[in-house]
């Protein structure tokens, strides 16, 4: 139906999958993603040995696990990027349903690993965080609903997606996991804005977020403690934020030297939530700016390609995935430099974490699939034809 309305040109193509994939892929974005993963392994070599020693493992235990999970993520990303948007959508719906059910049963069968928030299933040899896999699936499902809403006599997909979004946000807030809840709400808001949402509704949503934050602050000690620590004029040097702030200050422009950093011996989450503090201390502002540039390249190139896309589903889903990827990175780095309250959110492809890196690989594989060039012409040609 979308092809009939927006004029995509069906082409019978006998070209082999791999040459066609390589010819149509955004190679710059793929290269930046691979470099981010390589930087993550490099920083893991610096940040994880102290924790491995503390837990009685071999010095590079966590690096080896990151390499293993990262390898699975790269395979998942490559395979997903070779799929057509229709196949990606179908698999995303199935994956979303599985992750949604897993999230529902998390309060009964999940564990908090002593961190005060029930977010994981413990499998013995590893743990799984359903919310990481839920995010890309939700983006694709919500984009599908919104795109259906744009069709003639289509279903009320925008309203359905909003109800689904609120349900997921509530489930995440009850864990509590306010960081992931905000990320899901932001992803939906971006897609809704691109789909043509009125500004009054967006302002109303912002007011709802403020009200929800006030209620959470009044009723959640976990949430209130993080907000109070963020708003405090003085930073306790013995807290994670204090250690991270000092490490970034000590790093300066070029860092204190490879292996010479001290923050990794003090921060329990140096290899996950505060990996950017390790990068800033040992390699300096130069490496941090390179990391930011890699993220920016992936996001900007993806959005530029999506601007030329005719299919509203691909445009919405790709925009949601790209913006969610960017904001997660911004939140992680913003927390480390005390621009945002602590969220407990990983830096995609750089931080240690099996669920995080695999889910990021799937999400970026979907984005690469949506941004591949297709035989359809550009949307600017369609608009020009309409004006003529």
pLDDT at 147: 94
Cβ-Cβ contacts under 8 Å for 130 (sequence gap 6 or more)? 99, 102, 103, 106, 121
Strands 127-128, 121-122: pairing is antiparallel
Give tens-digit pLDDT for 277-312.
899 999 999 999 999 999 999 999 999 999 989 899
Q: Does 15 fall in a domain?
A: no
**Tell me: the pLDDT tens digits for 140-170?**
999 999 999 988 888 999 999 999 999 999 9
* Domain assignment present for 134: yes
- Provide the domain count of the chain: 1
- Contact 262/281 with Cβ under 8 angstroms? yes
CA angle 24–81–162, rounded 5-degree value: 115
Instruction: Look at residue 236 in the predicted model and tell me its pLDDT.
Output: 64
Q: Is residue 388 part of a domain?
A: no
Q: 14 lies in a domain?
A: no
Per the listing, tokens 């790709």 go with 318
Structure tokens at 225: 């403690």
Inside any domain, residue 250:
yes
* Residues lower than pLDDT 50 in the chain: 1-12, 377, 382-383, 385-386, 388
Residue 320 to residue 184: CA distance in whole angstroms: 10
- Segments forming the whole domain that contains residue 301: 2-9+20-382
The reported pLDDT for the residue numbered 9 is 43
- Of 314, 357, 299, nearest in space to 76 by CA: 357
Closest CA to 272 of 343, 169, 176, 182: 343
Q: Where are the alpha helices (DSSP H) in the chain?
A: 2-6, 17-24, 27-47, 49-54, 61-81, 85-104, 106-109, 130-149, 157-173, 178-194, 199-219, 221-231, 240-251, 275-307, 312-336, 354-370, 379-387
């Amino acid at each position: 139906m979308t092809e009939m309305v927006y004029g995509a040109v069906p082409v019978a193509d006998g070209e082999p999958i791999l040459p066609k994939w390589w010819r149509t892929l955004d190679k710059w974005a793929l290269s930046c993603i691979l470099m981010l993963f390589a930087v993550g392994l490099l920083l893991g070599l610096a940040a994880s040995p102290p924790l491995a020693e503390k837990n009685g493992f071999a010095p590079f235990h966590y690096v080896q696990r990151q390499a293993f999970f990262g390898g699975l993520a790269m395979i998942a990303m490559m395979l997903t990027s070779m799929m057509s948007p229709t196949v990606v959508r179908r698999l995303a719906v199935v994956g979303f349903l599985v992750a949604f059910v897993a999230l529902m049963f998390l309060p009964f069968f999940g564990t908090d690993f002593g961190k005060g928030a029930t977010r994981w299933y413990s499998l013995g040899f590893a743990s799984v965080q359903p919310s990481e896999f839920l995010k890309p699936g939700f983006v694709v499902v919500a984009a599908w609903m919104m795109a259906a809403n744009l069709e003639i006599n289509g279903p009320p997909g925008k309203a359905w997606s909003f109800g689904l979004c609120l349900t997921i946000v509530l489930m995440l807030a009850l864990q509590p996991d306010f960081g992931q809840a905000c990320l899901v709400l932001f992803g939906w808001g971006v897609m809704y804005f691109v789909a043509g949402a009125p500004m009054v509704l967006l302002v109303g949503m912002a007011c709802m977020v403020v009200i929800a934050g006030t209620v959470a602050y009044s009723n959640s000690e976990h949430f209130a403690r993080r907000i109070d620590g963020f708003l405090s004029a003085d930073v306790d040097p013995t807290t994670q934020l204090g250690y991270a702030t000092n490490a970034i200050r000590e790093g300066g422009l070029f860092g204190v030297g490879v292996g010479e950093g001290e923050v990794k011996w003090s921060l329990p989450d140096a290899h996950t939530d505060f990996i950017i503090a390790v990068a800033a201390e040992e390699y300096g502002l130069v490496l941090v700016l390179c990391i930011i540039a890699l993220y920016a390249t992936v996001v900007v190139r993806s959005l530029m390609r999506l601007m030329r896309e005719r299919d509203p589903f691909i445009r919405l889903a790709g925009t949601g995935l790209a913006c969610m990827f960017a904001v997660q990175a911004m939140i992680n780095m913003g927390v480390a430099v005390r621009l945002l309250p602590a969220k407990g959110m990983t830096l995609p492809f750089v931080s240690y974490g099996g669920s995080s890196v695999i889910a990021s690989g799937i999400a970026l594989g979907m984005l690469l699939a949506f941004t591949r060039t297709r035989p359809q012409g550009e949307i600017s040609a369609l608009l020009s034809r309409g004006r003529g």
